[in-house]
Amino acid sequence: MMTDTNAPRGMAVPLAAFGAGALVALLVGVLGTVHAPSLGGTTTLGFDTVLQMKVVVSTVIGLLAILQVLGALVTYGKLGITAPSWLGTAHRTGGTIAVILSVFVAYHCLWSLGLQTVAIAGGGAVPLRTMVHGLAGCAVVGAIVVKVTAVRSRRSPGWFLPVAGGLLFALLVVVVLTSVVWYLGENGWPGSGGYS
């Protein structure tokens, strides 16, 4: 099926994508608040704790996100470097791996910890870092929906893909800063003699 490359590029696709992404983020947040946290159905991938596993996998996601931004900048000629022929395939593969790992980590966060925004079970206040991390994590799942739509759409305005990619990257930075960077500051690298 041929698509008309001269077709008007309206706002319908971006608006639908942002609406669907917001709905997904909201539903993930609701699941995180109503689900009783449990380690059943989770894995540590050989690490001592689920938290340690999430730190390591989230570090990989953060590195892949940086490579995605660099790859996009080279692909679109923003760095003055000619893109090698393999870059498109590497960019798509890296993006796919980052999305899969992000969903994997989000599942483990929601399933084992839940979404804490109001009060911890013991009655104490939820730390700001925990609230920001949880809400940004839900937003990442919604932003994945927006980004995948932007990548697949041929009828959206030219600004949609970079905005969707930038939004996802910014949210991933917030999630990594409020999880990995915090954890490493408190505990050190998993398995490096730090406490868990």
Tens digits of residue pLDDT in 24-41: 999 999 999 998 889 898
Whether residue 126 is predicted with pLDDT greater than 90 in this model: the reply is no
Give pLDDT, residue 2: 44
Listed residue (96, 65, 82, 81) closest to 173, CA to CA: 65
Radius of gyration of the chain, Cα coordinates, nearest whole angstrom = 19
Predicted TM-score (pTM) of the model is 0.86
Start-to-end CA span in the chain (Å) = 55
Check whether 188 has a pLDDT greater than 90: yes
Query: Rounded to an integer, what distance in angstroms lies between the CA atom of residue 68 and that of residue 62?
Result: 10
Say what the pLDDT of residue 192 is.
57
> Closest by alpha carbon to 168, among 89, 62, 74?
62
Tokens standing for residue 33: 């608040």
- What is the predicted pLDDT for the residue at 196? 38
- Answer whether residue 191 shows pLDDT above 80: no
DSSP the chain: ----TTS---SHHHHHHHHHHHHHHHHHHHHHHHSPP-STT---TTSSSHHHHHHHHHHHHHHHHHHHHHHHHHHTTSSS-PPPTTHHHHHHHHHHHHHHHHHHHHHHHHHHT---SSB-TTSPBPPHHHHHHHHHHHHHHHHHHHHHHHHH-SSS-TTHHHHHHHHHHHHHHHHHIIIIIHHHHHH-STTTT---
List, for residues 62-105, the tens digit of each pLDDT value.
999 999 999 999 999 999 999 999 999 999 999 999 999 999 99
Domain boundaries, the chain: 43-186
Contact 75, 90 (CB under 8 A): no
User: What pLDDT does 128 receive?
Assistant: 87
3-state secondary structure of 16: helix
* Residue 114 predicted with pLDDT over 60: yes
DSSP annotation of 124: P
Going by pLDDT thresholds of 50, 70 and 90, the confidence category of residue 121 is low
Pair of tokens at residue 21: 């992404």
Rounded to whole angstroms, the Cα distance separating 18 from 4 reads 24
Determine the pLDDT at residue 20: 97
Q: Is pLDDT of 193 > 90?
A: no
Tens of pLDDT along 134-181?
999 999 999 999 999 999 998 899 999 999 999 999 999 999 999 999
Q: What pLDDT score was predicted for residue 3?
A: 47
